[in-house]
């Protein structure tokens, strides 16, 4: 199976571009999602739906698929960002971490990304890596 390729979005060509983007912004995507298509519609749907898996499935045989999707997305972002210095963080959600409805998907993905970036850079001090991970 071939690896998906990052594709750039031409902001000027969008009928309704997000208000906070300007033409100089570089936006890209890796997969397309087919609404209502379910897991079998495409590999993209499978990955995205696993990543969005509801938190009430934590501890079930399905949860490792969510973890796998978070790792996969982190690995793909690490490749995209390999030559960049960046700060990534998760905006607070409407749920607290102790809420059973809290979804840790972005925390999971950014945790994997921080680990991956730390491993690939090797030059970072442990303190820098810890600060980077806490920002994630």
- Segment 77-85 long-range contacts (CB within 8 Å, at least 24 positions apart): 77/109, 77/113, 78/113, 78/116, 78/117, 78/120, 80/6, 80/28, 81/117, 82/120
Kindly report, residue by residue over 41-88, the tens digit of the pLDDT. Answer: 999 999 999 999 999 999 999 999 999 999 999 999 888 888 877 777
Give the per-residue pLDDT at 134.
52
pTM: 0.74
Give the per-residue pLDDT at 48.
95
Give the per-residue pLDDT at 132.
46
């Amino acid at each position: 199976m071939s690896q998906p390729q990052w594709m750039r979005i031409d902001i000027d060509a969008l009928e309704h571009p997000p208000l906070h983007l300007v033409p100089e912004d570089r936006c890209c995507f890796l997969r397309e999602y087919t609404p209502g298509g379910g897991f079998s519609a495409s590999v993209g749907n499978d990955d995205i739906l696993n990543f969005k898996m509801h938190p009430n499935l934590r501890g079930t045989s399905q949860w490792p698929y969510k973890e796998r999707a978070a790792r996969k997305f982190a690995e793909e972002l690490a490749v995209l960002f390999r030559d960049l210095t960046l700060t990534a963080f998760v905006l607070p959600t409407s749920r607290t971490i102790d809420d059973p409805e809290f979804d840790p998907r972005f925390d999971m993905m950014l945790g994997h990304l921080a680990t991956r970036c730390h491993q690939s850079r090797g030059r970072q001090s442990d303190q820098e890596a810890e600060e980077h991970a806490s920002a994630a």
